[in-house]
Structure 1
């Protein structure tokens, strides 16, 4: 994976015509034939962008109302989404894959076999499916193929959050884009100076605090430490360890996640020279995010760290959680320290409390 691809992913969040180039690169990264992004939203039909080879297949699938007819698609909504990219044959029942003729009848003549994909659910209710199509003669992905995709997954999660909010349409100027996102948001310069805020963020004065030199702080010590580190990393043009920062609930506020997105290339111009977009999403019992998926997709945890965190959230002691994850207790402690650092928590009880705020409701 190159930093250039991560940069392009963030650019595509605001300039959707860039997604095809990103998807071509994702296909190449995973040694696949094609790639696509599908956004699901209860308020509107699914929207999608795909590379040239698979785009006609998705268009035909859409025209045939495949989103409602396909057993495979319906399982996406009823099964707990994995916290990583997975090979479809390792996730779906064989019968569901074999019965998806709306897809198979169109992909087999192209020499396409299975898929690797990741289904990212977001606190705002939208869901994004990133998938790559495998050549039939190279169907099962290697561990390296999956590792490269999983390294990109947190970037894809944040970018798809914005893409879903904008409806896969190009952002049109700072004010319009921030209003359309419907999220508390601010645009910052590379040195952290606030250039613009929207009314939703201004209505949270206890959460987002003005500080010296026109900068911003978060009203939680541990979360603000991660936030300032993320801002400094953008200024230094290095990859921050965390770009999505959980802020725990208090009596006067619910939990939120603060996302730090770099504004690059065309996005930099759209936001009048701003360098960083800050967007906040609420975490509540009504969110459509299961704990392991929220952690892996938005808190930059690796799949192994997310599995351990999910076990801990179910009330298991570290020894038992490590055993269920097939790791030693010593490795579990190492993972737990990383999880603490990435989620802004310091104790296992704090981590569990954060995860217990999030449930996956039945979509009916």
Structure 2
């Protein structure tokens, strides 16, 4: 093998452990395969899950924003090919189809690109990853010898992707087990709320508090609706960094707060199915918690925590307005935010929740 091949393989395995190196490795891969840019994405076509070379970043973002994943069957044709190697566009399109395909004529060609080769790799999480190299149109199709070079490193790409996926899953599972040591039930959730791992304390909540199905389900219907909304938000770019959901007490069980903690996305996260960690905190206190506890339990701002504590302590909106030196409208607005974040609809429910009493069954 050539020095270029050996150096690229070494870099691929280095990126498996140091995922921030993938953009540079993709550039090396593109050059080795006679191309000019590259992108790595997941076949669920989630716009937040891709890694790209710097010179293709604007193009791939525009591709996503303009909805081209849904407007062309380029990726679907690649998947249907089921080829254990790299496939060029001319392998999945006839020359006539290629000439009239809108994704080339209307999007890639005006940007100088339009000659690509890609390969699909399945990782242990069940995800399918696509390594795609793109060549400038003026240079013509990717030649067979370049495809052969790409095929020669594909086994290393597959092993590196597998290693990255396993390392990421070990990391998030370790986080759940770490919470076990302090007595907190926790579960690692994948996309759409699918349970990937639970610690023993969380397993103890099955049937009473949670159900194991296609996704994590709460036995409290109202709380489960909030969880479903939160899970949708987790996969949305720019969504809230965390969400706290109150779960009604039942059958002698105290009310519980479910903290949904998204796993922050980076290049590494393309290789892990995990999206969030769900942590359950039993609320067994019999007094109104302090401000810092309120902020942490329910993601409240300092001002919202003051209002929550005041209402739970028996104060009125007018009384709090006078005490804080703000308008009643401001206090009402803050109280409305508190009730939205705690999942309550009446002040009486808020008082019961913060006092540790069982939430009313909805």
Give the TM-score band, short-chain normalised.
Answer: 0.3 to 0.5
Where relative contact order (Cα < 8 A, 6+ residues apart) is larger, the structure is: 1
Name the TM-score, length of structure 1 as normaliser: 0.45
Larger Rg: 2
TM-score of the superposed pair, with normalisation by structure 2 = 0.46
